[in-house]
A and B are shown apart, each in its own frame.
Chain A
Amino acid sequence: MEKNEKVLEIRHLSKDYGKGAILKDVSLDIHKGEVVVIIGPSGCGKSTLLRCMNGLESIQGGEILLDGNVITSGKTNWSLVRQKIGMVFQSYDLFPHLTVMDNILLGPLKVQKRDKKEVEKEALTLLKRVGLGEKTKAYPRELSGGQKQRVAIVRALIMHPEIMLFDEVTAALDPEMVREVLDVMLELARAGSTMAIVTHEMQFAEAVADRIVFIDGGEILETGTPEEFFKMPKTERARKFLDTFKF
């Protein structure tokens, strides 16, 4: 696999809500097949960074490129871009009035205008892969939090995105359901998916990441391999942050 091909490039990104900067001059490249895990204290801007990547947040400076094309110029066809950038959110965000299958089919059928039979077949394959093959006709209310998140992952995967964004997808889950969702993500990572993950699960971050990005105060303070970052963090703030997870 060509590891040097850049899928997403973020150049000097800045973002503010009017009162102080949320992100200051953030630059980050994500390469094909790479798993980048973004960590940092609450409110540091990591979720905002992820949301900027698929246009859910406006930016005030810098630019973002997808496959070498600028997507933050104002002329972007976001519908097209978002098909290439899948995203899974923290809250269980399935559409409550649709069955599991219809949740998954909505994008492929209405946005990509794909053939229903073909998409249904693929949906079933993906659902089986995340252990939910028998839930096609269930409504979201009949699923546990962990199951809902796995469906949400399938709903994003079926669009065949080039990169997947995960925004604290286990933060709202009961502890016993965290594992089943992380396992799915780990499997995706091993299968070579390109991923950007925001998480508070440090052991998971260490296991899944090719590269750790540490953000605090809206700036990237440190990037490195999981070994480097978790064993020998370079900055004082990263050290302090990691200490908060020790007892």
Chain B
Amino acid sequence: MQDLGIKVLFMGSNFERLLDGLWVTIHISILSVLLSILLGILLGIVMTSKNIVVKAVTRVYLEFVRIMPQLVLLFIVYFGVTKTFGLHLNGETSALIVFTIWGTAEMGDLVRSAIISIPKHQRESGLAIGLNSSQIYRYIIIPQTLIRLIPPAINLTTRMIKTTSLIVLIGVVEVLKVGQQIIEANRYTVPNATLWIYGTIFFLYFFTCWPISLLAKFLEKKWKVN
């Protein structure tokens, strides 16, 4: 019987390399999530506009990004744009751009629906006690929007983190790529490495996303409305 492949994790600096790879994943995720939240909030507010042109443009943007597989977007930016416009974007920058474009669209739609889900009576009750428009936003609309936004926004965050695994395909060395490299390098000495490495990666993803889900549950409970 072949020996267990677990030893591959502790050979050389393999485990540290995996963690370095995970850091690349997290790094790209955090940046694109933060950018998406900021831009998405702006987009969401814009999307509640009654202007038909604004509505149409934002709608087309949202649908386009949603219909496109993220991988195709990555290829368009990394291979297409760089070639066509002679720009030299590395894989990480391309990934950041694509995930921000995608995240902003999704986040914008979440913000939009959170804002419009607040009944108009809330606004009128605010008016009736003499609040002005900006006070109504500050004390009534925004707090309630944030509360409604937390569960879907965190869901989106974990989806984005998971989807970063696609950037292997544009040559970014993140956790999955490091794993593949380790497996390749030990193909003959540790044939069982595949299970152990991918298994480890599974847990790395899990322990990255799980705390975020727990946070979502906690916040949801704490700020439960209605």
Residues of A whose CB lies within 8 Å of any CB of B are 54-56, 78-80, 82-83, 86-87, 89, 91, 93-97, 106-107, 110-112, 141, 152, 155-156, 159
User: Which chain B residues border A56 with CB–CB below 8 Å?
Assistant: 124, 127-128
CB contacts (< 8 Å) of A79 on chain B: these are 130-132
Give the number of residues in B that approach A within 8 Å (Cβ atoms). 22
Give the CA-CA distance A161 to B131 in the complex, in Å: 15
- Which residues of chain B from 80 to 115 have a CB within 8 Å of any chain A CB? none
Identify the closest chain A residue to B129 (Cβ). Answer: A107
Contacting residues, chain A, for B130 (C-beta < 8 A): 78-80, 82-83, 107, 111-112, 159
Q: Which of B19-27, B137-145, B158-166, B172-180 contacts A (4 or more CB under 8 A)?
A: B137-145
A106 x B128 contact (CB < 8 A): no
Total A-B Cβ pairs within 8 A:
68
Chain A contacts for B223, CB-based, 8 A: 97
Cα of A222 to Cα of B135 in the assembled complex, Å: 41
> Top 7 nearest A-B pairs by Cβ distance?
A107-B129, A111-B130, A93-B125, A87-B128, A83-B130, A93-B121, A82-B130
B122 interfacial contact with A, CB 8 Å = yes
Q: Would B131 and A96 count as touching, CB distance under 8 A? A: no
Binding site for A on B (CB under 8 A): 119, 121-122, 124-132, 135, 139-140, 143-144, 147, 223-226
Indicate if the CB atoms of A111 and B144 lie closer than 8 Å: no
Say whether, besides A79-B130, A96-B144, A89 and B125 are in contact (CB < 8 Å). yes
- Report whether A97 and B124 are in contact in the complex, using a CB–CB cutoff of 8 Å: no
Contact across chains for A106 and B139 when beta carbons are under 8 A apart: yes
> Shortest beta-carbon distance, A56 to chain B, in Å?
6
Known pairs A91-B119, A97-B223; list 18 more (Cβ under 8 Å).
Answer: A56-B127, A78-B127, A79-B130, A80-B130, A82-B127, A86-B129, A93-B122, A93-B125, A95-B122, A95-B125, A97-B144, A106-B129, A106-B131, A107-B129, A111-B131, A112-B130, A141-B224, A152-B125
Q: Give the residues in chain B near A156, CB-CB below 8 Å.
A: 128-129
Task: Output the least CB separation between A151 and chain B (Å).
Answer: 11
Question: Residue B140 contacts which of A91, A95, A141, A152 (CB distance < 8 angstroms)?
Answer: A95
CA distance A14 to B135 in the complex (A): 31
> Given the complex of chains A and B, what is the CA–CA distance between A208 and B226 in angstroms?
33
State whether A159 and B129 are in contact (beta carbons under 8 Å apart), knowing that A96-B226, A97-B143 are contacts in the complex: yes
Complexed CA–CA distance, A159 and B126 (Å): 13
**What residues on B are CB-neighbors of A111 within 8 Å?**
129-131, 135
Q: Is the Cβ of B124 less than 8 Å from the Cβ of A110?
A: no
